[in-house]
Amino acid sequence: MKLYNADLSPNALRVRAVANELGIELETIEVDLMKGEHKTASYLAINPNGKVPVLVDGDFVLWESRAIDGYLAGLKPERGLCPTDARKRAIIDQWSYWQAIHLGPAMQGVAFERVVKKKLGMGEPDETAIESQLKNVAQFLPVLDASLANKEWVAGDLSIADFAMASTFMFRDRAGISLDRTPHVSAWIDRLEERASWKSAVAPMLALMQD
């Protein structure tokens, strides 16, 4: 299997982490976003959205990171990262979609303005955008915190929802996003970040962001 990857992409990060957790070896093909390789005709032929990641498994081509994670988890159902039980699967989907629509854009928006823009030479932070997204962070982090009060993982057992959620937390300290008021979230992300699968997946991203 081939993974079209960009190390700075949180979407690609969650796929690398899930593959690591499952012990699935992927042939990684780097897509240089700064050079516009994701907009070439050859790349658009496999993902017309011009985004990363893309998984290619023989003649099967799949884009959208959460769909890719579900597919990978389905290849090793015994690991339980995406169970077939309807209710368990629904909870995983609930939190994965929630991350994609609510918490993810808010936290990634702050991180982009305060961390990524400077690293990539894209200008000064937009304080108006930061203020707006911080309000969303303040609204949604307590929702996740309350859910984690009596369990270790987002959907009860470790699942692809944890890796989806964690992909928005990498730059929380640099971005000035405190977890002091959400201790259950803090404990959860610490657990996740101690996993060897995550450490291996996130290492290339952190290396790129070093000053």
Reported as a pLDDT band with limits 50, 70 and 90, residue 36 is: very high
Domain of 18, CATH number, reads: 3.40.30.10
Say if residue 190 is in the same domain as residue 91. yes
Say if residue 162 is in the same domain as residue 191. yes
The answer to whether residue 73 sits within a structural domain is yes
| Residues 152-201 pLDDT 10s | 999 999 999 999 999 999 999 999 999 999 999 999 999 999 999 999 99
Say if residue 74 is in the same domain as residue 107. no
Q: Domain end: 41, 62, 79, which one? A: 79
The answer to whether residue 200 sits within a structural domain is no
The answer to whether residue 93 sits within a structural domain is yes
Domain of 176, CATH number, reads: 1.20.1050.10
Burial bucket for residue 150 (CB in 10 Å: 0-12, 13-18, 19+): exposed
Say if residue 131 is in the same domain as residue 170. yes
Reported as a pLDDT band with limits 50, 70 and 90, residue 47 is: very high
pLDDT of residue 40: 97
Strands (E) across the chain are located at 2-5, 27-30, 54-57, 60-63
| Residues 59-103 pLDDT 10s | 999 999 999 999 999 999 999 999 999 999 999 999 999 999 999
Say if residue 70 is in the same domain as residue 148. no
pLDDT of residue 209: 81
Q: Domain end: 79, 102, 128, which one? A: 79
Q: Domain end: 59, 79, 99, which one? A: 79
Say if residue 74 is in the same domain as residue 105. no
The amino acid at 137: V
Query: What is 153-211 written as a DSSP string?
Result: BTBBB--HHHHHHHTT-TTTTTTT---TT-HHHHHHHHHHHTSHHHHHHHHHHHHHT--
What is the span of the domain harbouring residue 186? 86-195
Say if residue 112 is in the same domain as residue 174. yes
The answer to whether residue 165 sits within a structural domain is yes
Phi, psi dihedrals of residue 155, rounded to the nearest 5°: -105, 20
Other CB atoms within 10 A of residue 161 CB: 26
Say if residue 35 is in the same domain as residue 127. no
Say if residue 93 is in the same domain as residue 13. no
The residue among 73, 64, 81, 63 whose CA lies nearest residue 24 is 73
pLDDT of residue 211: 58
Say if residue 49 is in the same domain as residue 144. no
The answer to whether residue 204 sits within a structural domain is no
Split into its structural domains, the chain has a count of 2
| Residues 91-150 pLDDT 10s | 999 999 999 999 999 999 999 999 988 887 888 989 999 999 999 999 999 999 999 999
The answer to whether residue 176 sits within a structural domain is yes
CA 6 – CA 67 distance, rounded (Å): 17
